[in-house]
């Protein structure tokens, strides 16, 4: 059995164990398989994952006296310094694996009875939920031809239809499955999805409040130099900057109206597509369900429409560096991100155009006229 082979080892790589890989291999290839060796390889780019480290695992194995290779994807606890959000990040592994395993399996059973295809998510193959050492392994969708769409271009109608249709199946099948449960309520049966992913304590809310308050000043400056019509937007931001974090958290709370199981982080970074030779999407998968839970179906739709239909995504050096974001360095992190926003908003191109469009949409409502 080989040791982990990596060119630039990360502490989190140690969370990938022989047991985790063996369980994944047997769940994928059957019990009569022998693990020969495995190797960890980097899998994603900076900015693709904020709350975890995602790696590829290349596996050599023997079955029926034949040697073969396959590959999987592992999602690992990033083992960052402790901060006020650490517990929420760690609980997310239980949430996501419970959704991928028990909940989606139940939803698929309901769809199968109706003659419909299974929910389009990756197969969970193994997991370790020991606190502080969380890791799980799924199938590698990349080997099946799936990849992200071009985030700088945004999603066109063909891409968007895949997303909206699959959201409808995801939401509706959760209600069908829920009716089969003794409790008639998914969170009462699956503890991992109880409450919201962002159930924050007072310390976490305080740190979020600092960040939201600090970012309003460069936003106000950006809007003032764009057009005088945004004056009331600036006044509203100035008046409400101290409550923006709580407003955001309140928007993520459970809602009895149109309540379904939602994806919870429904934007282009968490979607993979497979294309034909003409570059037209022909298949689709949701990934990263660590924020999934019960809420209004409109939460997914609203988030998707506002984040993914135009190419305005930070890349490279624009991506926040989360590795050293500890409570004692929060002011430094906040100041850096505020300066980064000022820099990005001063550029010509899709970021500033789309950001302005958001406020144009909001001006058509009465939100900035509210007390």
d(CA 371, CA 349): 34
pLDDT by position in tens, the chain (length 371): 344 443 334 789 999 999 999 999 999 999 999 999 999 998 877 655 567 899 999 999 999 999 999 999 999 999 888 777 788 888 999 999 999 999 999 999 999 999 999 999 999 999 999 999 999 999 999 999 999 988 767 788 999 999 999 999 999 999 999 999 999 999 999 999 987 656 656 666 777 777 777 778 788 888 888 888 888 888 888 888 888 877 777 766 666 678 999 999 999 989 999 999 999 999 999 999 999 999 889 889 988 987 887 644 444 444 555 555 666 666 777 777 777 766 766 665 545 666 677 777 777 777 666 55
What is the maximum span of the chain, computed from C-alpha positions, in angstroms?
A: 74
Q: What are the two backbone dihedrals, phi and then psi, of residue 349, each rounded to the nearest 5 degrees?
A: 130, -165
Exposed, middle or buried by CB within 10 Å (0-12, 13-18, 19+), for 339?
Answer: exposed
Helix (H) or strand (E) holding 56: strand 53-63
End-to-end CA distance of the chain: 66
CA dihedral 328, 334, 339, 340 (to 10 degrees): 110
Domain boundaries, the chain: 157-369
User: From CA 282, how far away is CA 274, in angstroms rounded?
Assistant: 6
- For residue 100, give every residue at least 6 positions away whose Cβ sits within 8 Å of its Cβ, in sequence order, or none: 121, 122, 123, 124, 138, 289
| b/e 196-234 (16+ beta carbons within 10 angstroms → b) | bbbebeeebeebbbbbbbbbbbbbbebbeeeeeebeebb
């Amino acid at each position: 059995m080989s040791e982990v082979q990596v060119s630039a080892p990360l502490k989190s790589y140690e969370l990938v164990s022989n047991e985790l890989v063996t369980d994944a291999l047997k769940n994928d290839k059957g019990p009569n398989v022998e693990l020969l060796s495995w190797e960890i390889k980097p899998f994603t780019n900076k900015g693709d994952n904020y709350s975890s480290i995602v790696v590829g695992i290349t596996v050599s194995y023997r079955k029926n006296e034949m040697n073969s290779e396959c590959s999987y994807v592992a999602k690992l606890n990033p083992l960052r310094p402790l901060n006020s959000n650490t517990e929420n990040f760690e609980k997310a592994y239980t949430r996501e694996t419970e959704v991928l395993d028990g909940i989606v399996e139940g939803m698929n059973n309901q769809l199968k009875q109706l003659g419909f295809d299974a929910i389009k998510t990756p197969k969970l193959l193994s997991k370790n939920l020991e606190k502080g050492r969380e890791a799980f392994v799924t199938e590698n969708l990349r080997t099946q031809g799936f990849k992200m769409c071009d985030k700088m271009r945004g999603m066109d109608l063909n891409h968007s239809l895949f997303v909206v249709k699959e959201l409808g199946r995801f939401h509706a099948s959760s209600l069908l499955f829920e009716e089969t449960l003794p409790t008639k309520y998914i969170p009462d049966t699956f503890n991992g999805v109880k409450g919201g992913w962002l159930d924050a304590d007072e310390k976490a809310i305080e740190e979020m409040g600092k960040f939201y308050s600090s970012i309003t000043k460069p936003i106000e400056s950006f809007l003032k130099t764009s057009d005088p019509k945004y004056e009331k937007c600036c006044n509203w931001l100035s008046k409400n900057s101290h409550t923006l974090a709580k407003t955001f958290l309140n928007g993520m709370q459970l809602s009895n109206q149109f309540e379904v199981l939602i994806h919870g982080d429904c934007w282009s970074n968490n979607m993979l597509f497979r294309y034909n030779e003409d570059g037209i999407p022909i298949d689709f998968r949701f990934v990263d369900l660590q924020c999934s839970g019960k809420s209004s179906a409109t939460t997914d739709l609203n988030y998707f429409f506002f984040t993914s239909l135009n190419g305005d995504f930070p890349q490279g050096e624009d991506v926040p560096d989360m590795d050293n974001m500890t409570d004692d360095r929060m002011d430094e992190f906040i100041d850096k991100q505020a300066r980064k926003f000022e820099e990005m908003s001063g550029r010509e191109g899709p970021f500033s155009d789309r950001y302005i469009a958001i406020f144009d949409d909001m001006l058509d409502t009465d939100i900035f006229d509210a007390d």
